[in-house]
Each structure stands twice: as C-alpha cells, then as structure tokens.
Chains A and B, each alone.
Chain A
C-alpha cells in the first residue's frame, strides 16, 4: 500500500477527469490522478468537437497553446436516402470571431495538452495504471482504490470516478448498473488524411475554418443512429454510431455500416484519395436524463460519460463531461474548506450544483427524446428520410408533370407510408419530446 494519503483520487484522464483534477489542484488540494493509458488521451475516443465556453471556465487562455484543429463556421445536417441527401446548412462569418465558439480537435493530442495543465497545477498524474477496484471501509464508505501496480492500494478522502462510459469500477462496487444496450450507442470512426488545401477546397474553407456534417437516414438501416464527418486541419474524422440494442437486433456489423456510409455518393468525393491512419470504436451514452445514475455517495462522486451525461440530440458530451468534472471539483473543495467529511450528505452539494447548471437542465428538456427515437427508429431513420428525399426530387425535377399532380404524388407518398393519424401523431410526439 502507498503510505501517502491524498485529498482526492481521480480515476481517468479524459475530459471529466482532467477538469476535476485541474479544479481541485488549482485550489491547492493534493490530487492523484490515475490513467490506464500510456499517456492521457491514448484510450480516449471522440469525434471530436471542443466547446470553448466550458474550457474557458477552466483555462481562460487555452487558445494560446492548446492543440486545436479548425474553428467551426458551418454546420450541415443531412437527411440521407441511398443516393441522395436533403441538407440544412448553417454557415456564418460571425463564427470567424476573435474567440471562436467551437473547434474540431484530435483527442489523443488535446488530452495530452489538457493533462499538462493538470500537472502544472500540481496534481500527480500516474499513467499506465489500471484501477482494479474501489476500497471501502467497514461502513461502506469509499476510502481509496486498488491499482494493478505492486502494492497498489492508495487512500484518499474522496474518489472522483471519471472512468468513462463503461463505468466498470462503479458497477463492480455496486454504485450503479452496467449500461444497458438500449442506453448506449456504438460508434466506429476512421481518421482520413488529406492535404490541407484539398480539405479546404472540398469543404469550401479558408485558413483554419472548419465544418461539421451530421447525417441521419437510411445510412443507419433503420437503426437509431447517426453518421458524422468533421474537418480537421489535415484530416477528416468520419464515423457512424447506432444503438447497441439495434445492432444486436438487426445483426448489422459496424464496419460494414461505416464502409457503406463512406461510399455514399454524397460522402465519397469528400474523402476520395485519403490515407486512413486509424480505426476506433467507442460507446456513447444515449439514455439521457432518465439514464443518469446515482451521482454521489460516501466518499465518491461520478462525472462525465461514467455518469451517462451526454446530450444525444445536440451531440454534446465532452462539454457536459468537462462541466460535471469542474463542478464536482468545486463542490469537493467547498466541503473540504468547511472541514466537513466527504459523506454522502455533504457530497450531495455536487448534485445540487449540477442540477442548477445547463448539464442537467438540458438533459431534462429532452428527457423523452431517447424513448421516442428508439421506439420509432424505423420511422425517423428510414421512412421519413426516404419520403423527404423523394419529395425534394419530385419538387426539383422538371419533367412536364403539372405541379398540382406533383404535389398530390408527394402527399400521397407520405400518407400511404404513415397515414394521416401517424403523421400527426409523429409530429405531436416529436414536438412534445422537444418541448
């Protein structure tokens, strides 16, 4: 056992863990952060988009030296069928601002930098070390961790579980359930390298401008899921994710799904001639508000993906992770400053502060959306994209058919696919889940 005792142990060096460790170390707490990867970032996978506001709250001048790829000036939402896409694009020169709002990043590089800030603040970061289990005292209070290093038991007043979506330690210690196949999506992703100029020409970008494409439709073959494509400086991140329960039900394979997405006529020209340098797979929490587990207990709190904090509709996760990590660090510091013990009652402050933040407010807003999307996946991810693309083709193709008849064909296609009751019901259910 390691004799040295810490104020806090943080398990994991992703967005949530780094935010928590930094917050506590900056306030003079004695922090040990344990990461199983070779270096912080080597086990972490994300699309990835970084949200500046949430990082500014931790590191106000991060733009000076953080490894950022491109700042986003354009968002494209694509609804796809087999050969077409209907797009909603938003591009604005307003995003070419002094302090841009969103950036593409490459996690392995970004996390290494983020961790250097944590270490500068005074935390001890121990890599290549897997935490095997939590240590509890006779009353069930978490008092430390056991690592896979020799004599690897370490004690602290509080353990911050920032262990990622799988949340293995929490499950083993009966703090929460294992994620269910209905509440997590499996995403696979590739890194495609292309010359900078090629990316800028293909995506209509100048300098460090960037673009995001998010795509839904027949690419997920009726499963609840989405594809994405993010422009980095000299690479394009491309991936697709669907609910694990849907993969299980359909027998679809994730790599075939990704390859079909890459071959879609709307996507293929964007990545043509690229060199693939990595293939990754990762789970994404998709259960929303209803899937959030118990967030605190005697001697522990859970943050980030391990707490299933992810806004599936807005594709926001890393900012919820960062914010929950920061708030956990602040709450723990408050408890410590009052010289109170790290009991469940005192750590409830973390939950209270999180409830008051955008993290829980946003998840609450969309609490019914996951159920709607999961139950109606055939309609929302297959039927409607097909109908909408057909309707648009009918609208733009000039073939001598009178417009009145064209409209009738389109309306009929919707009604015969979903019936009037179905159409109004879907619109009503969607509006209610959005509200």
Chain B
C-alpha cells in the first residue's frame, strides 16, 4: 500500500488573498474544558482547517485563513459552542475569482 503525504490546507490557502483584521477574530470558541461533539466535528469539516486541538484537548480557532463559508456556524452556533460574525467591512478573504 502506498502512503501519500496528507493534503496541506495551508498550501491551498496560500494562494488566496486576505486582509486579516488583527486582534478582531470574527469567530470565537466558547471557553470549555471538554469539547462537545459539534466542536470536535469542526476539526475536520472546516474547509480552511481553522480549528485545532490545543495541548489541553480544547478546541481553538484561528480564523486568519477562514473562507467565510459558515459551515462551523451551521454546526456549532446553535448550541452556543461558537460565536460567529462576518469580519468587519473590507476585512477577511478577498476572492480574486470566487
């Protein structure tokens, strides 16, 4: 069986244009000790891989590479796991082609 190098989303996102609103994350994860199933799902489903586990096993978000699709909102905003807003006007992903 051949093993392939895992897809690096960072390489894909590198092609994109962003204007990051430093210090104003538009998505926030509610502080928690043990992540809910919805939060854990975000580790995989987020197409920009913005969600990661920290060393304490909690889910963290770094929305710098966010493509603003809203998938995490649909999954995890309803039960209060995350807080989701659009970036401030002009900030965030700037699609060249869309």
Interface residues of A (CB under 8 A from B): 36-38, 41-46, 48, 106-109, 111, 127-130, 147-149, 165-166, 168, 178-181, 184, 186, 188, 190-191, 235, 244, 247-248, 251-256, 259, 276-283
Contacts and interface: CB of A to CB of B under 8 A. Distances in A.
Given A130-B89, A256-B7, A279-B16, A191 B97 contact: yes
Nearest to B93: A43
Given A276-B15, A279-B15, A283-B70, 5 more contacts: A43-B68, A111-B98, A190-B12, A256-B7, A280-B67
Nearest to B40: A251
Mostly, the B contact residues are: loop
A45 B12 contact: no
A43 B93 CA distance: 7
B40 to A, nearest CB: 9
Contacts of B84: 168
B64 to A, nearest CB: 14
Contact of A178 (B41, B44, B49, B73): B73
15 contacts: A42-B94, A43-B68, A43-B98, A106-B97, A108-B97, A130-B88, A166-B73, A247-B44, A251-B41, A256-B7, A277-B15, A278-B96, A278-B97, A281-B71, A282-B67
B7 A168 contact: no
Interface in B73-89: 73-75, 77-78, 84-89
A280 B16 CA distance: 8
Contacts, number: 134
Contacts of A278: 15-16, 95-97
A277 B96 contact: yes
A199 B12 CA distance: 22
B93 to A, nearest CB: 7
Contacts of B98: 41-46, 48, 106-108, 111, 280
A253 B44 contact: yes
A148 to B, nearest CB: 5
Contacts of A128: 89-90
Contacts of B38: 248
Interface string B9-53: 100110110010000000000000000001001001101110000
